[in-house]
Amino acid sequence: EAGVAQSPRYKIIEKRQSVAFWCNPISGHATLYWYQQILGQGPKLLIQFQNNGVVDDSQLPKDRFSAERLKGVDSTLKIQPAKLEDSAVYLCASSSVQNSPLHFGNGTRLTVT
């Protein structure tokens, strides 16, 4: 089975610029997650979708971060405007049902200068 696809792999932007990341989950997986992993820390959940609805976005900085999952398949995560502290790896994960193990993509490494 094809894994979770993410793009781009790397992105370098200046602070106050905007950036978007894309994720294509494993086919048929209803649940999709975006995690932020800052260097030296474990992944932290930003947002969880069940199909095209948001289940949990309690830790998403909504003043600058937004995410959508139109049609319940692909998802995009946007940061506008970016801050230096947004430098991290952004991981997308999917699972077939809630509470089943997550499958992770390779992540997008964002550097904000």
Site residues for other proteins per CB under 8 A: 3-4, 31, 33, 40-45, 48, 50, 55-56, 91, 93, 95, 97-107
- b/e for 27-49, b at 16 or more Cβ within 10 A? eebbbbbbbbeeeeeebebbbbb
Which residue, 11 or 82, has its beta carbon nearer to other proteins?
11
User: How far is 52 from 59, CA to CA, in rounded Å?
Assistant: 18
Which residue, 79 or 89, has its beta carbon nearer to other proteins?
89
Kindly state the smallest distance separating residue 98's Cβ from other proteins, in Å. Answer: 4
